[in-house]
Amino acid sequence: MSLYYKSTRNSELRVTASEAILKGLAPDGGLFVPEKLPILDVPMRELGKMTYQETAYAVMKLFLTDFTEDELKDCITKAYDDKFDTEEIAPLAKVDGVYYLELFHGATIAFKDMALSILPHLMTASAKKNRIENKIVILTATSGDTGKAALAGFADVEGTRIIVFYPKNGVSKVQELQMVTQKGDNVDVVAIHGNFDDAQSGVKAIFEDKEFAAELAEQGYQFSSANSINIGRLVPQVVYYVYAYAKLLENEEIGEGEEINVVVPTGNFGNILAAYYAKQMGVPIAKLICASNENKVLFDFFRTGIYDKNREFVLTSSPSMDILISSNLERLIYLIAGEDSAKTRELMEGLGGSGRYTITEEMKAKLDDFAAGYSSEEETAEQIKAVYEKTGYVTDTHTAVASHVCGQYQRGTDDKKKYVVASTASPYKFAKSVMTAIDGKYAASDELVLIEELQKISGTVMPRAIEEILNAEILHTLECDADKMKEIVKGLCISC
Ligand SMILES: *Cc1c(COP(=O)(O)O)cnc(C)c1O
Output the CA 232–ligand 1 centroid distance in Å.
16
Q: Given 6, 23, 83, 112, which residue is catalytic?
A: 112
| Catalytic status, residue 484 | no
- Give the nearest ligand 1 atom to 425 CA: 13
Output the CA 372–ligand 1 centroid distance in Å.
16
Distances (CA, A) of 479 to 181, 188, 462: 15, 11, 31
On whether the CB atoms of residues 253 and 165 are closer than 8 A, the answer is no
Output the CA 20–ligand 1 centroid distance in Å.
22
Residue 72 is predicted with a pLDDT of 98
Confidence of residue 495 (pLDDT cuts 50, 70, 90): low
In this model, does residue 494 exceed pLDDT 80? no
More confidently predicted of 464 and 384: 384
Confidence of residue 55 (pLDDT cuts 50, 70, 90): very high
More confidently predicted of 284 and 142: 284
Name the residue at shortest CA distance from atom 2 of ligand 1: 320
In this model, does residue 224 exceed pLDDT 90? no
On whether the CB atoms of residues 93 and 183 are closer than 8 A, the answer is no
Name the residue at shortest CA distance from atom 8 of ligand 1: 268
Name the residue of 111, 172, 229, 273 to mutate for ligand 1: max ligand atoms within 8 A of Cβ: 111
Instruction: Name the least confident of 143-152, 179-188, 471-480.
Output: 143-152
Output the CA 53–ligand 1 centroid distance in Å.
22
In this model, does residue 146 exceed pLDDT 90? no
pLDDT digits (tens, 9 = 90+) for 267-307: 999 999 999 999 999 999 999 999 999 999 999 999 999 99
On whether the CB atoms of residues 385 and 379 are closer than 8 A, the answer is no
89 DSSP 8-state letter: S
Distances (CA, A) of 165 to 139, 140, 282: 8, 6, 37
Enumerate the β-bridge partners of residue 163. 139, 188
Residue 365 is predicted with a pLDDT of 96
Please, what is the average pLDDT of the chain?
94
Distances (CA, A) of 134 to 93, 150, 216, 316, 369: 44, 20, 10, 40, 43
pLDDT digits (tens, 9 = 90+) for 320-347: 999 999 999 999 999 999 999 999 999 9
On whether the CB atoms of residues 242 and 40 are closer than 8 A, the answer is yes
**How far is CA 438 from its chain centroid?**
27
pLDDT digits (tens, 9 = 90+) for 423-476: 999 999 999 999 999 999 999 998 889 999 999 999 999 999 898 888 899 999
The Cα–Cα gap between 226 and 164 comes to 10
Pairing of strands 5-7, 32-34: antiparallel
> Which distant-in-sequence residues (6+ apart) come within 8 Å of 337 by Cβ?
343, 344, 347, 359, 363
Output the CA 186–ligand 1 centroid distance in Å.
25
- Give the nearest ligand 1 atom to 399 CA: 11
On whether the CB atoms of residues 431 and 450 are closer than 8 A, the answer is yes
pLDDT digits (tens, 9 = 90+) for 37-49: 999 999 999 999 9
Name the residue at shortest CA distance from atom 14 of ligand 1: 320
Q: How many residues does the chain have?
A: 496
In this model, does residue 496 exceed pLDDT 70? no
- Give the nearest ligand 1 atom to 429 CA: 13
pLDDT digits (tens, 9 = 90+) for 248-273: 999 999 999 999 999 999 999 999 99
Percent of the chain with pLDDT over 90: 85
Name the residue at shortest CA distance from atom 1 of ligand 1: 320
The Cα–Cα gap between 221 and 493 comes to 8
Name the residue of 104, 240, 424, 426 to mutate for ligand 1: max ligand atoms within 8 A of Cβ: 424
Name the residue of 398, 405, 433 to mutate for ligand 1: max ligand atoms within 8 A of Cβ: 398
Output the CA 422–ligand 1 centroid distance in Å.
10
**How far is CA 226 from its chain centroid?**
10
Within 6 Å (CB) of ligand 1, which residues are found? Answer: 110-112, 145, 228, 265-271, 320-321, 398, 424-425
